[in-house]
Amino acid sequence: MSITCESEAKVFGAWHKQFRHQSQSLNCSMRFAIFLPQKATSSDKVPVLYWLSGLTCSDENFMQKAGAFAVANELGIAIVAPDTSPRGEGVADDDGYDLGQGAGFYLNATQAPWQAHYQMYDYVVNELPQLIEANFPVSSVKSIAGHSMGGHGALTIAINNQNQYRSVSAFSPIANPSNCPWGVKAFSHYLGDDKALWAKYDAAELLASAPMALPMLVDQGDADSFLEEQLKPKALVEAAQVHGAKLQLRMQPGYDHSYYFISTFIGEHLRFHHRYLSA
């Protein structure tokens, strides 16, 4: 459970830090970033928002581009951003940007050569929170959010582990990966041909199959070039209606898939989570 600090920077009187540790789940060295608000002290532990980033990203994209720190500091919310996949020598990879390192899809791979390292679901759900709670002044109260591939991860992890989180939000999530090119490619390689196993990692399939009690906020830009082919928010809405899940989908006119979009609405997402983290 030992961690090593690789960088730190003061921001809004609070701290952003990067750490590295040896992951048992992923069988490799992993880096994560954490934002600790001023309220985080040994006598005043704060709740955590876990942020999952998208394809080709790392722990740095959200922390550097989202502009979340002022509001998170005001609200007293810590933010933890893991990397998007295992990395390093000996970790399986692919020439495509949408498979392999940088494209872990937040699942537990079952197929060779991926299963040796690509256990991101276990890492995010179990190992990382245990590590964070053991080493930082945070409580076990947490929510989860993400963008694109990370939005897919946030939704599926929250739906599958409703007792562990207070709320979930996403920007431009891959809502129905079993039926889009990104998801079919990733699932075929990581999980094989078992479509029943695919459904465990598909937010639309999960919402249609069982009740979801957690509040969900999803923002989607209507100028997103990936909207129709890859993201499929309509499938998410239709699935949520089956069991009356508390989904708020906001189509945002003129916004694309970028961090300009995320930075515009991240404050609203943080305040959404704060309502449930502070309850």
Contacts of 234 (CB under 8 A, 6+ apart): none
Residue 7 dihedral angles phi and psi, to the nearest 5°: -160, 155
The residues, ordered by sequence, that sit 6+ positions from 122 with a Cβ below 8 Å of its Cβ are 25, 108
Catalytic residues: 148, 224, 257
C-alpha distances out from residue 11 to 49, 71, 89, 110, Å? 18, 12, 33, 41
Query: What are the phi and psi torsion angles at 88 (to 5°)?
Result: 120, 170
